[in-house]
Amino acid sequence: MLHGAVNLAQGFPDFSAPAEIKLAAQQAVAADVNQYAITWGAKKLRDAIARRLGVGQGLTVDPEKEITVCCGSTEAMIATLLAVSNAGDEVVVFEPFYENYGPDAVLSGARPRFVKLRPPNDDGNEWTFDEKELRRAFDRHTKAIIVNTPNNPTGKVFTRAELELIRDLCVEFDVLAITDEIYEHILYDGTEHISMASLDGMRERTVTINGMSKTYSVTGWRVGWAVAPEKITNAIRKVHDFLTVGAPAPLQEAGAAALGFSAEYYRKLAEGYRSRRDHLMPALTAAGFQCFRPRGAYYVMTDISAFGFKDDVSFAKYLVEDIGVATVPGSSFYNDPRDGAKQIRFAFCKKPETLDEAARRLMRLRRN
Ligand code: PLP
């Protein structure tokens, strides 16, 4: 542990995964599911993914032709971008963005075009984007737009109206939507997760990415997937084969068991995170942070202007070295670091005692 700090930086839970899926993984290893799975994913897991998309989003997906299981949604995203992009293409990315999207676009030969999500103002509104700015980012070079909802780092949950606006641009400019829905079950305050693929006109132009990491608290298992129309799936499967051959075989079996959990599991998951959010946020406010209330995912973006530091990186360094709490500087989520210079992100996917200890340490900011 660096400087003995409490780690509210990275988005991994510090509590146990569900006993049922650990048992399913143990049983799969004991039953010798120890060799390569089918390159594009164990049939049981693909069937379970198709079933869940049917139940959750009303989508009909062919598990034989439209699903590729990868080593985490991270691989699903880069495999998709490598599969669909050519040199000179552009990919629209909302910022602040999950750190991988920019480098992913560049590695695939495309150029990222950033569109700002603007923080809520004092009227209690939500993170929003400017419709005209989004339209300006689309042109004949645009290949795809990446939409991450619920969103890391902002906690924004895109509304149906926003998704429809993006849909209309995708149709008008013949652009693909690549959606990262890894936090789909972590929702608060009555918000609803809407898969872009479920919107009229989007089924045939959407790649839906998801995975086990966040929903089942197993970020180290590295199981994720991309769901896409057959032609795009064929391209993704080729890239995936050469990148990693396949995802861990016994953990895919456990994934099939996990995707069969009842609605109660997902309700409790969201409720657990709501209670953690409502535990951490008052402590951050008391310590002097301005919090942007997340409606989904498990992060709080904060404004640090009140502390008067030069920038986010020097403040994050002070927090880890002198206060004993690790965070992520806001600039890591922006193309131009200056745009994040007044922001810091906290992750609250932690035990109550971890959050309590962080809160206790952060109160030192008040005394300094
Ligand atoms: N996508 C987003 C938005 C994330 O926040 C993360 C992890 O923090 C990932 C993807 C990584 O997912 P995986 O573990 O499936 O590769």
Count CB-CB contacts under 10 A for residue 118: 13
Averaged over 131-142, what is the pLDDT? 97
- From the CB of 155, is ligand 1 less than 6 Å away? no
d(CA 197, CA 64): 18
pLDDT tens-digit readout, 306-347: 999 999 999 999 999 999 999 999 999 999 999 999 999 999
Q: Please give the structure tokens belonging to residue 35.
A: 């060799």
In a 13 Å sphere around the CA of 209, the CA atoms on its Cβ side amount to 25
d(CA 179, CA 202): 11
d(CA 129, CA 162): 9
DSSP 8-state secondary structure symbol assigned to residue 153: T
Flag whether pLDDT at 367 surpasses 70.
no
> Position 336: which residue type?
D
d(CA 54, CA 138): 31
d(CA 358, CA 356): 5
Q: How confident is the model at residue 366 (pLDDT cuts 50, 70, 90)?
A: confident
pLDDT of residue 248: 98
pLDDT of residue 37: 96
Burial of 68 (0-12, 13-18, 19+ CB in 10 A): buried
- From the CB of 215, is ligand 1 less than 6 Å away? no
Averaged over 14-33, what is the pLDDT? 97
Q: Please give the structure tokens belonging to residue 207.
A: 């790649």
Q: How confident is the model at residue 4 (pLDDT cuts 50, 70, 90)?
A: confident
pLDDT of residue 296: 98
Flag whether pLDDT at 124 surpasses 90.
no
pLDDT of residue 2: 60
**Ligand 1 atom nearest to 223, measured from its CA:** 15
> Position 325: which residue type?
V
Flag whether pLDDT at 241 surpasses 70.
yes
For the chain, what percent of residues have pLDDT higher than 90? 96
- From the CB of 104, is ligand 1 less than 6 Å away? no
Torsion of Cα atoms, 216 then 49 then 227 then 221, to 10°? 30
Flag whether pLDDT at 1 surpasses 60.
no
Q: Whose CA is nearest to atom 7 of ligand 1?
A: 11
Query: Please, which residues bridge with residue 67 across strands?
Result: 227
- From the CB of 354, is ligand 1 less than 6 Å away? no
**Ligand 1 atom nearest to 222, measured from its CA:** 14
- From the CB of 72, is ligand 1 less than 6 Å away? yes
For the chain, what percent of residues have pLDDT higher than 70? 98
Closest CA to 226 of 94, 66, 109: 66
Averaged over 75-99, what is the pLDDT? 97
d(CA 210, CA 77): 9
- What does pLDDT average to over the chain? 96
> Position 368: which residue type?
N
Flag whether pLDDT at 123 surpasses 70.
no
pLDDT of residue 368: 60
